[in-house]
Structure 1
């Protein structure tokens, strides 16, 4: 049986999206995937980062834990799962900058047929949970990825997340994801892995 390679690329400022990424990874590994977790880098000026309580500390902690994603990671992956906090109902600039750097691989056709999926976190209810996941569908389609949503293919999806991918609402206090959001993220990791394995097995045969 083929072992699918799953790449999780995320951006997180206060840790909410990071916790979803870890839950996605847990689900993927439970389904037998080889997993790499990568956090994209900040490019906001340091003086702005220092004005926001906790930003620099979380950035430094995550820099120590997670490597930056590379083209080699993307080539290695059979599936790429993108995670981001919502920025005005859309993907964060930090994650989008990494996506924009993949033009060379796209031009060579090296992304065609890989699996793609998306998850996100917002601060406010109805703050862009669905629109942010859908916004990532746009660039995944351009890259040639086979988009895999969560749908309602598992009962956990009726308790948390959206049919487009796992989500979390942190609130003004930055509350971490609860069990329903984490369960949706774990299911997303399993589902993406299942599809990636089927595609990889089909190609091998």
Structure 2
């Protein structure tokens, strides 16, 4: 059986969400997945970006490391993991634009039955991590993804994260994800991969029946 294929499509401005994305990728690879990590692109003008110290420089650095996610990436994947910082308690426009751009695949039914999962970060305590992750569940359901939350199915979940997905609070970008938060992210990668593998195995058995 081929390796489960996992797409991690994220947006990050100051690296907290990026760090979680790479930890999820690590967990997925440990579980035997083939992984693509992609960063969505800015939608606002350079003028707007210049008002936030470091935004432009960080964007250039991250965009040099990661390709932008494409329709082809989503079609390729057996599992799609979306990651975003909170924006006023909800999904970032950069990630939402990518999801909205999957309408062609949705219309053709090509996303039905793929695994879907989410993770995110926020700058302030109670800044909307859980509401943001839950807000992404809605378009995932419309796309036909099989939503995979984390629950409390690993000891790491009793130290950090949420039952909906890995999270981090950066305290106005003064803190990076620590070992406990990274452990949750790696578990998310493993869990998503294991579920995707199970679904692939079920398809093989169904085809052979």
* Aligned match of 2:101: 101
1:115 and 1:192 in contact (8 A); partners too:
yes
User: What's 1:80 paired with?
Assistant: 80
Query: Cα RMSD (Å) of the superposition?
Result: 0.8
Q: What residue is the counterpart of 1:200 in the other structure?
A: 200
Alignment correspondent of 1:163: 163
Q: 1:188 aligns to what?
A: 188
1:50 corresponds to 2:50: yes
Distance 1:106 1:173, change over 3 A: closer
Is the contact made by 2:14 and 2:173 (CA closer than 8 Å) also made in structure 1?
Answer: no
Partners in 2 of 1:173 and 1:137 — Cα distance?
26
Matches within 5 A, 1:96-175: 96-175=96-175
TM-superposition CA deviations, 1:132-165 (whole Å, max 9, x none): 1100101100000000001100000010100000
Mapped to 1, the partners of 2:58 and 2:178 lie a distance apart of 20
More displaced stretch, 173-182 vs 146-155: 173-182
- Show structure 1 runs of 4+ deviating over 6 A: none
CA distance in 2, matches of 1:194, 1:60: 34
Q: Distance in 2 between matches of 1:93 and 1:180?
A: 28
State yes or no: 1:8 paired with 2:8.
Answer: yes
TM-score (norm 2): 0.96
Q: Distance in 1 between matches of 2:54 and 2:201?
A: 44
Q: For 2:92 and 2:125, how far apart are their aligned partners in 1?
A: 18
Alpha-carbon separation, structure 1, partners of 2:40 and 2:2: 28
CA distance in 2, matches of 1:94, 1:149: 23
Cα deviation digits, residues 43-93 of structure 1 (max 9, x gap): 111011112111111100111000000111000000000000001111000
Structure 1 residue 194 displacement after superposition: 0.2
* Structure 2 portions without partners, runs of 5+: none
Q: SS at 1:161's partner residue?
A: coil
- TM-score scaled by length of structure 1: 0.98
Following the alignment from structure 1 to structure 2, what is the Cα–Cα distance between the partners of residues 155 and 19? 21
Once the two structures are TM-superposed, the CA of residue 21 in structure 1 deviates from its matched residue by 0.1
